[in-house]
């Protein structure tokens, strides 16, 4: 039986990037269907800019073009196109460390096989309502005190449930990725399960992703 999983991501988040690469690995060894959904770090934090570090508050507006572009791709070209675009964006944002959206967005569109004219939608408001709706769907599953990624699956009764994470420092590959999925799915679909956490002792290794 195919497990369906939605991952809500912001292309700017290194942790969401690593989790997404793990899910792709897991899908190679488990019967797993991935739905790519968008959430926004800017929308998540825009009402609490005075409460977060200054460097992060300064960064948030610069995350908007990529996430707007991902939402536009979802609406105009469908789920598979979003997956390709996210992979391409992540290559430039995380693996190559590019910071200028004007530089990496055209390259990512070309790599993903998507029309060049989509780049204009990264800077407009045309898809902001749909982006807000997608973001709200993620937050509705997990609450407001988490970040990205958010993963959504169906529980034992067929009800959609969501959780933040898993947060990983490196991409888990091969059968280990499958075992990790088994554990995440088992815990994530149990109504009794609340939280499993430990102090982070390493930075995300996006360069090796």
How many other C-beta atoms are found inside a 10 Å radius of the C-beta of residue 24? 15
pLDDT surpasses 80 at 129: yes
Determine the Cα–Cα distance for residues 65 and 12; give it in Å rounded to an integer: 10
pLDDT of residue 132: 97
For 20, residues 6+ apart whose C-beta sits below 8 A from its C-beta are 7, 9, 86, 90, 149
Tell me the pLDDT band of 9, cut-offs 50, 70 and 90: very high
Which helix (H) or strand (E) segment holds residue 34: the answer is strand 32-38
Contact 90, 12 (CB under 8 A): no
Q: pLDDT tier at 37 (50, 70, 90 boundaries)?
A: very high
Q: What is the pTM of this model?
A: 0.93
CA 30 – CA 206 distance, rounded (Å): 24
| CATH code given to domain 3-208 | 3.40.30.10
The residue ranges of every structural domain in the chain are 3-208
Query: Which residue in 161, 171, 159, 157 sits closest to 193, CA to CA?
Result: 161
pLDDT of residue 173: 96
Mean pLDDT, the chain, whole residue set:
93
Q: What is the mean pLDDT of residues 54-81?
A: 96
pLDDT of 31 above 90: yes
Q: Are 196 and 164 in contact (CB under 8 A)?
A: no
């Amino acid at each position: 039986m195919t497990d369906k999983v939605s991952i809500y991501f912001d292309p700017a988040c290194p942790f969401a990037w690593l989790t997404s690469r793990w899910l792709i690995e897991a899908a190679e060894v488990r019967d797993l269907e991935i739905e790519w959904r968008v959430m926004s770090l800017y929308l998540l934090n825009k009402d609490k800019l005075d409460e977060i570090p200054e460097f992060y508050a300064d960064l948030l507006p610069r995350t908007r073009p990529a996430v707007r572009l991902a939402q536009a791709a979802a609406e105009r070209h469908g789920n598979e196109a979003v997956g390709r675009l996210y992979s391409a964006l992540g290559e430039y944002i995380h693996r190559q460390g590019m910071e200028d959206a004007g530089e990496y967005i055209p390259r990512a569109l070309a790599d993903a096989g998507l029309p060049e004219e989509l780049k204009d939608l990264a800077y407009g408001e045309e898809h902001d309502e749909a982006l807000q709706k997608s973001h709200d769907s993620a937050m509705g599953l997990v609450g407001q005190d988490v970040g990205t990624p958010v993963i959504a699956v169906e529980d034992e009764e067929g009800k959609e449930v969501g959780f933040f994470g898993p947060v990983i420092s490196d991409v888990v590959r091969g059968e280990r990725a499958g075992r990790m999925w088994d554990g995440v799915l088992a815990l994530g679909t149990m109504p009794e399960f609340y939280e499993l956490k430990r102090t982070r002792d390493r930075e995300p290794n996006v360069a090796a992703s």
